[in-house]
Amino acid sequence: QQQVKQSPQSLIVQKGGIPIINCAYENTAFDYFPWYQQFPGKGPALLIAIRPDVSEKKEGRFTISFNKSAKQFSLHIMDSQPGDSATYFCAASMSNYQLIWGAGTKLIIKP
């Protein structure tokens, strides 16, 4: 019940396309859902986060869509660029507990 399932494991998209990464969770007590971006040789860095009282949040070209009833949330990258090539992690937590991490998605944007 503490797991966060992330898919796909890897994704290749042409420049300008819209990659979509999905995550699903079971614990309805989760109330914080961040996405982290990690470049090779670096630590993960927060990209965007959402709380369950909203269904969508946009920051620049990055959008989180949140479906509370389905217990799913997804990351969309608009007008993707080769510089977006990285590993993306979703996570979830309750307000007084640890971050539970998805397994990660390796995204490659082809020029």
We find the least distance from the C-beta atom of residue 79 to another protein, in angstroms, to be: 25
We find the least distance from the C-beta atom of residue 111 to another protein, in angstroms, to be: 26
Whether 110 and 15 have beta carbons less than 8 Å apart is answered as: yes
Bridge partners (DSSP) listed for residue 59: 62
| Out of 43, 53, 83, 111, the residue judged to bind another protein by CB under 8 A | 43
Can you give the binding site for another protein, defined by CB under 8 A?
Answer: 6, 9, 31-32, 34, 36, 41-46, 49, 89, 93-99, 101-104
